[in-house]
Amino acid sequence: MPGVFSQLDLTPNRLTLARDARAAQGDLIDLTSSNPTTQGLIFPAEILAAAATSYWSARRYHPDPHGDLAARTAVVEYYARRSPPLVLQPDDVFLTASTSEAYSLLFALLADPGDNLLVPNVTYPLFEYLAALRNLELRFYQLDEERNWRINARSLRRAVDERTRAIIIVSPHNPTGAIVDAPLATLDLLGIPVICDEVFAPFTYAVSDTPPLAALHPDLPLFTLNGISKLFALPDLKLGWIVLNRPARVFAPRLELLNDTLLGANALSQHLLPTLFAQGETFVRMMVDRVRANLTLALQRFADHPRIHARPPAGGYYLFPAIDGWADEERLVLYLLERGVFVHPGYFYGEVPGCHIMLSALTEPTTFAVGVERLYAALI
């Protein structure tokens, strides 16, 4: 059968079947959720409703390949408030339907079929599917667990060849929580365009801020990705953006054509964006406080556990502990399922050395606390 993904086995895997069977018993604690709306984190409806009212009466369709000017101006002002600030112009911003669409646009912008992109060896399983749409190769650089999952600069240099077109960095990283908080000399030395995904930027834990990578590397072509899915817990309203720093502006005319080809960003969501930034801070702070409290609870509970070794993440909303005494992560997850708690195995995120599990601190706090207790007891 021709076409993309035609060679993949798309039948449910063993863990999915086991999870569904265990969930049918009615008492499974799922600690893997990345969806804020299923965890009781609902952006205030009254703010959305009030902001939408003016849209309906003045509704006109004026497509712009960059996106609505007021929305882009709100993005510019958001980065001006970051620490350190990132100085932008509205034309440096391209609004998209999502971060995934933004990646797809940038992959098409920067690479031809057969070229390669550098991605971390531990990461969310998204890039392989997006790269397949363009017939691009993924080459992996290493994250060092003993250095709090920092980027291994030597492995980054080794991964580069003459067909490397971009380096992808996720900060805060999914699922390790690592944050790039200082310039990386290797990036400037290589001079290859960088795509930085910072959708978890407000979710800090062991550090105070997530610096915009483009502010740390002002002379390197750098594309910053973000959106309202994580930032405002609005994955259903479908709005993301690509921000170009000064050296990346050379790519703007072609990116304008690419984005104009799709025009995927929803007009209502664009209209709402200035209000989200102006009135959403209290809600964002509440989400961040929940994640921090859950992380603290888990780290304190696991601190004396002989098998669970959890490092305080710099940010993000996941915990990615190493587990002693188990060599097979799938067997471990199946064992935990039998005891009423579901986590992700480390291999969901790549070829991670050792044995790891992932749990989401986005989980509703009471449920999270019960899940942590079940984990503690099951692995003691």
Q: Are residues 258 and 321 in the same domain?
A: no
pLDDT tens digit sequence for 33-79:
999 999 999 999 999 999 999 999 889 899 999 999 999 999 999 99
Please indicate, yes or no, if residue 5 is contained in any of the structural domains: no
User: 95 lies in a domain?
Assistant: yes
Of 264, 279, 294, the domain-final residue: 279
Q: What is the CATH number of the domain that holds 36?
A: 3.90.1150.10
d(CA 149, CA 314): 10
Residue 1 has pLDDT above 80, yes or no: no
pLDDT score, position 64: 96
> What is the mean pLDDT of the segment spanning 196-225?
98
Domain boundary among 279, 297, 314: 279
pLDDT range class, residue 119, cuts 50, 70, 90:
very high
Instruction: Select from 239, 249, 140 the least CA-distant residue to 199.
Output: 239
Query: Residue 111 has what pLDDT?
Result: 98
Domain match, 153 and 247 both? yes
CB 317 within 8 A of CB 203: yes
Question: Is cis: bond before 365, omega within 30 of 0?
Answer: no
Rg of the chain's alpha carbons, rounded to an integer? 21
9 found inside a domain: no
Same domain, 275 and 286: no
Instruction: Based on the fold, state whether residues 248 and 204 are members of the same structural domain.
Output: yes
Residue 104's CATH number: 3.40.640.10
Averaged pLDDT for residues 13-30: 95
Domain match, 135 and 257 both:
yes
Domain residue limits at 189: 46-279
CA distance 216 to 60: 39
Residue 315 structure tokens = 């940010």
pLDDT digits (tens, 9 = 90+) for 179-207: 999 999 999 999 999 999 999 999 999 99
pLDDT at site 24 = 96
CA-CA distance, 66 to 257, in Å (whole number)? 10
pTM: 0.97
Please give the single-letter amino acid code of residue 274.
P
Q: What is the pLDDT of residues 125-172, one digit of tens each?
A: 899 999 999 999 999 999 999 999 999 999 999 999 999 999 999 999
Contacts of 154 (CB under 8 A, 6+ apart): none
Same domain, 127 and 216: yes
> Which pLDDT tens digit goes with each residue over 265-302?
999 999 999 999 999 999 999 999 999 999 999 999 99
Residues 143 and 166 in one domain: yes
Residues 131 and 186 in one domain: yes
110 has pLDDT over 80: yes
pLDDT value of residue 58: 86
**Segment 298-346, tens digit of pLDDT:** 999 999 999 999 999 999 999 999 999 999 999 999 999 999 999 999 9
Residues 18 and 57 in one domain: no
Which pLDDT belongs to residue 90? 98
SS3 69: helix
Give pLDDT, residue 351.
Answer: 87
Is the domain of 298 the same as that of 257? no
